Amino acid sequence: MRFMRKFCQPAVLLLSIVLAGCGRPSALTTARLVQPIVGLPAGTDGFPWWNDTVFYEIFVRSYFDSNGDGIGDLRGLVAKLDYLNDGDAATSEDLGVTGLWLMPIHPSPSYHGYDVTDYYAINPEYGTMEDFQQLLREAHRRGVRVLIDLVLNHTSSGHPWFLAAQDPSSAKRDWYIWSEENPGYLGPWGQTVWHPSTSGHYYGLFWEGMPDLNYTNPEVTAQMQDVVRFWLQDVGVDGFRLDAARHLIEDGQLQTNSEATHTWYKTFRPYYKSLNQQALTVGEAWDTPAAVAAYIQGDELDLAFDFGLAQAAISSARTGRAAEVARVLSIDFQVFPGHQFATFLSNHDQNRVLSQLAGNVDKAKVAATMLLTFPGVPFIYYGEEIGMEGRKPDEDIRLPMQWSGEENAGFTTGRAWRSVNTSYTTANVAAEMTNSDSLLSHYRRLIHLRNDHAALRVGDEFIVTVDNPAIFSHLRASQKEAVLVVLNLGAETASGFHLSLESGLLKAGSCGALPILGDGPFEDVTVDRQGGFDSYLPAHDLPGYGAWIIQLECRQ
């Protein structure tokens, strides 16, 4: 059963916040809320629009081929928009995502596109600028915002700028990083970073085909600012995912998280906000939580991906033990300011979730439930919702989307750019769409629940203590709603466990417990003066891999 009733009346909620504030500060009073953005209506409870959004990462090459050449394209993506979001909030057949992140769409000599040769154009294998404009129109008509990958750190070695820079007398020479002799040091993971050419050695962090741009040269900054202006103002995208964000400016052998990199982002932020105050940047900075959070805390980027939480969620889903995800989540909610972190389970650089979980769909459902009830802004990698499999090399974690059990998984009528995974005969959209117990149905249900319940999107986070190591539980409390999440990570039914919360935002007294997900009825919970509860048992048995999502309705 599914209930949409409110948590408390506003006056009662204010009283509950006051009561919860007695003794120790509540998370609501300590979290740094992001200032509302001028322009479009502010998000829920004063948060930015992206905190109300579930994003979906797409590799256009692998999504859907509209013309039979074996390569996914923009027209193919437009054709599949109704699967992602049909634009009708009253329906639940679509996936329900409200944001897209497109991996690189610019011309490039590589299949992946992360070595750009023209920042102002569309990869002709994907279509035209007119095709992209149609995608934007159709997405925006459905209430879906679109981010594109922006590769600031480096270009392709085939970019005209770099071809010109190989001449020492060229005006573009200082757009890249050169040394007459090889400095001899290696990169952060032991890789070669200095590469020989006919006119000296150049620095390229990732490989010789990706020379790094020199952001100590103001001309480079001005040029890339113009790229940002073009896509935000002339084209109309809603923001950028910033690739390799922590590597932008080197300080000698310090090649990650340099002070100069942070300084550059502090000047970059007012620039892109001056173009579009609603624009979003989300940074890829694969590092410790403190190092990642530094890109958000210092007024640099809007969001950054939380790699540590992704690893913890997969670990807890794999082992059936809640301790790791509870530990990391409690740390991250304190480190990152005001829900401004991007959550995910996998992306285009990591083995797919089902492959990490040894093909166990029940564990994949558990991981999805964690992701879509976490605080922050969730990102889903295409195909995870149907249980696509894939392990490195990278091409095999970026395989064509599995739409049906037909030849080539319904991705193309031609020869696919890379063979589809053999799992396509059973793991595909067509087969899972009408199966209420499928992984796709589980993702769809959770996304729509998140869209419907403010507490799951912007609610403060309270880790609940449980006397069973397989149970992960947390309370999400927004200004008008509180939702309790209880998740059994193990295969066995959990019976007779108890939930305790030292302090929270609930009103003291008795709160009704209404089922949002999972079979009720549930016992009422008695809330103490600290806004928490002790030894609460909603119901006696929680099946293996089962979940309860419970709306708490406090009585006056």
User: Which amino acids are annotated catalytic?
Assistant: 243, 284
Return the ∠ at Cα 521 (arms to 518 and 523), rounded to 5°. 115
Contact (Cβ atoms closer than 8 angstroms) between residue 439 and residue 474: no
Question: Which amino acid, residue 537?
Answer: L
3-state secondary structure of 245: helix
Residue 465 phi, psi (nearest 5):
-80, 135
3-state secondary structure of 201: strand
Contact (Cβ atoms closer than 8 angstroms) between residue 122 and residue 128: yes
Nearest Cα neighbor of 145 from 7, 242, 50, 5 is 50
Nearest Cα neighbor of 305 from 409, 516, 142, 149 is 149
Give the distance from CA 360 to its chain's centroid.
Answer: 23
What is the DSSP-derived secondary structure letter of residue 384? G
Report the C-alpha gap between 93 and 87 in whole angstroms: 11
Contact (Cβ atoms closer than 8 angstroms) between residue 325 and residue 312: yes
* Residues whose CB falls within 8 Å of the CB of residue 35, separated by 6 or more in sequence, listed in order: none
H or E segment to which residue 278 belongs: none
Token pair listed for 410? 């319904």
H or E segment to which residue 99 belongs: strand 99-102
Report the C-alpha gap between 112 and 131 in whole angstroms: 20
Nearest Cα neighbor of 314 from 254, 257, 360 is 360
How far CA 426 is from CA of 62, 84, 387, 402, in Å, comes to 18, 20, 10, 9
Residue 471, strand partner residues:
488
Task: Cite the beta strand spans of 335-459 per DSSP E.
Answer: 342-343, 377-381
What is the Cα Rg of the chain in Å? 24
Report the C-alpha gap between 277 and 34 in whole angstroms: 13
* Residues whose CB falls within 8 Å of the CB of residue 378, separated by 6 or more in sequence, listed in order: 54, 55, 342, 343, 344, 371, 372, 450
